[in-house]
Structures are given as structure tokens and as C-alpha cells.
């Protein structure tokens, strides 16, 4: 089995890659540092050759609705289009518990995650959406980004 991890060198992707490799699964980490830009599509077609599954754990520093929606939809659209051409059979997306519900439906970043889920559900590659609780390791990052 060969797995492409979009965001494969990040906070979630790096330990995931290590875990999969320890189980004998071939991993292709996909990020800017690997010469792969899922937003522009640069390097994506080559990276997906022979891949069975895409695991999407991408994140964006954009917390405004427009930026988050543009990022998450753009990434899904490119991953899906190139994945279909490459014969990818499954797409797994990491999302967040409660996005689109109650007060969370007004948070720009969450609106981006809702758009991501909608895009992957309507794509031609079968998908699984994993809604995890938020990671506490992001709290210092959020505080730094929102301190006046």
C-alpha cells in the first residue's frame, strides 16, 4: 500500500507518517518542503503516481472565512482531480468535531472545514471524514496569532 499524506511533515502528518512507515506502509509526504504545492498543483501529479490512499491533514494559517474556504476547497479540488487521474482509491480527510453546528458555524476557519467536507463528499473518489476534537498543541499558536 502507498499513502500520500497532504501535510505530511506537519504537526499531525509527521507522526502519522512515522506510524504508517513503522507498519511497512510506503508513505509519500506532501508539502511545500517536498516540492509539492496542493494549492497550485505543482508536483502533485508526480507525487500521486501509484498512490492508493490520500490522507489530507493540511492546515492553513488563515482564520478568516474567505481565506480558509479558498484554501481547503482548493486543496480538495486539486487532490481529487489529480488523485482521480492517478487512480487513487480513497481519500481520508481530517476535520473537527462540531464544525458547522451552533456557534461554530460562524467561525471563519470552521466554515473552511465545512467547505472542505462538502467538497470531498461531492468528489468522485470515495472518502472518509474523520472529525477529531481539536488538538491542544494549537493553543499557543492561536494565542500568538490573536494577541493584540
Walk me through the domains of the chain, giving residue ranges and CATH numbers.
Answer: 2-145 (3.40.50.720)
Residue 95 CA to its chain's centroid (Å): 8
Q: What is residue 113's predicted lDDT score, i.e. its pLDDT?
A: 94
Neighbour tally for 107: CB within 10 Å: 17
- 17, 68 Cβ separation under 8 angstroms: no
Average pLDDT, the chain: 90
pLDDT tier, 135 (very low <50, low <70, confident <90, very high otherwise): low
Rounded to a whole number of angstroms, the CA Rg of the chain reads: 15
Q: What is residue 139's predicted lDDT score, i.e. its pLDDT?
A: 54
The mean per-residue pLDDT over the stretch 81-88 comes to 97
Tell me, what DSSP letter sits at residue 52? Answer: S
What number of CA atoms fall less than 13 Å from residue 37's CA on the CB side?
4
Q: What is residue 107's predicted lDDT score, i.e. its pLDDT?
A: 85
CA distances from 25 to 17, 21, 30, 36, 129 (A): 9, 5, 15, 20, 21
Q: What is residue 122's predicted lDDT score, i.e. its pLDDT?
A: 94
pLDDT at 103 over 80: no
The mean per-residue pLDDT over the stretch 10-35 comes to 94
Q: What is residue 62's predicted lDDT score, i.e. its pLDDT?
A: 86
- 27, 52 Cβ separation under 8 angstroms: no
Q: What is residue 137's predicted lDDT score, i.e. its pLDDT?
A: 56
Amino acid at each position: 500500500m502507498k499513502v500520500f499524506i497532504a501535510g505530511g511533515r506537519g504537526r499531525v502528518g509527521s507522526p502519522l507518517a512515522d506510524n504508517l512507515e513503522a507498519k511497512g506502509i510506503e508513505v509519500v509526504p506532501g508539502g511545500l518542503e517536498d516540492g509539492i504545492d496542493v494549492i497550485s498543483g505543482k508536483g502533485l501529479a508526480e507525487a500521486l503516481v501509484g498512490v492508493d490512499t490520500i490522507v489530507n491533514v493540511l492546515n492553513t494559517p488563515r482564520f478568516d472565512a474567505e481565506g480558509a474556504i479558498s484554501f481547503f476547497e482548493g486543496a480538495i479540488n486539486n487532490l481529487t482531480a489529480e488523485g482521480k487521474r492517478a487512480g487513487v482509491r480513497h481519500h481520508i480527510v481530517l476535520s473537527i468535531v462540531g464544525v458547522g453546528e451552533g456557534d461554530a458555524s460562524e467561525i471563519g476557519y470552521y466554515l473552511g472545514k465545512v467547505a472542505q467536507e462538502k467538497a470531498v463528499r461531492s468528489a468522485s473518489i470515495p472518502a472518509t471524514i474523520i472529525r477529531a476534537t481539536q488538538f491542544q498543541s494549537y493553543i499557543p499558536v492561536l494565542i500568538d496569532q490573536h494577541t493584540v
